[in-house]
Chain A
Amino acid sequence: GAVVSQHPSRVICKSGTSVKIECRSLDFQATTMFWYRQFPKQSLMLMATSNEGSKATYEQGVEKDKFLINHASLTLSTLTVTSAHPEDSSFYICSARGLAGMNEQFFGPGTRLTVL
């Protein structure tokens, strides 16, 4: 149980285009989802926290207009990187936390974004 999927697993795009990454909780309802980015040989850095049906809360230094987060249902959150640039190339990981009693974040497998 408690499986989180991400799609796509890898994406390569041209500079200036937008890319959407999906995060799904497959067997539980996720009231809260988290989006992280990870640079090589570094740990995960929290970008934003989203609760179903409300606006995401972004960490300091993360541009909300550049990284659009939508958490429209209890099983799906999306991260859209708008007008991507090479410096946005990174490993993006989502995690999901369920209803009260699920005292843990379950992580997705990650999405490797490469912007040319």
Chain B
Amino acid sequence: KNQVEQSPQSLIILEGKNCTLQCNYTVSPFSNLRWYKQDTGRGPVSLTIMTFSENTKSNGRYTATLDADTKQSSLHITASQLSDSASYICVAEPSTTSGTYKYIFGTGTRLKVLA
């Protein structure tokens, strides 16, 4: 069964600190791994996308890593800001020839950054 699990479920850090969010997936065959940021009451916004052959991808203070062998990904946030408070969702996209393009969503990590 295609599944994406994230940890921790929630996280509280102080402004300026770094943090790392984890994602394990059991999606096969696998195409892409994406990280999204979702502010409360808003739709998800893409942070990074990696294919199975990529190991790391950065977007400003966000750096995602991917280990396709262990089926693990992480999102590292550097020098956190108050505006980083949001839910971070890991999404795996199966490779498909049927053209359905369905995403497999993780349950998300709720990050709160305190001043």
Contact = CB atoms under 8 A, between A and B. Distances in A.
A91 B43 CA distance: 10
B110 interface: yes
Nearest to B9: A41
Which applies to chain B's interface (DSSP): helix, strand, loop or mixed? loop
Interface string A90-106: 01010101000001110
Which applies to chain A's interface (DSSP): helix, strand, loop or mixed? strand
Contact of A104 (B42, B46, B89, B102): B46
Which 10 pairs of residues, A with B, have the shortest CB-CB distance? Answer: A107-B43, A43-B105, A109-B43, A110-B43, A107-B44, A43-B107, A93-B43, A108-B43, A44-B105, A43-B108
Interface of B: 32, 36, 41-46, 49, 89, 100-103, 105-108, 110
8 contacts: A4-B43, A43-B105, A44-B89, A44-B105, A49-B102, A95-B43, A97-B101, A104-B46
Interface of A: 4, 6, 32, 41-46, 49, 57, 91, 93, 95, 97, 103-105, 107-110, 112
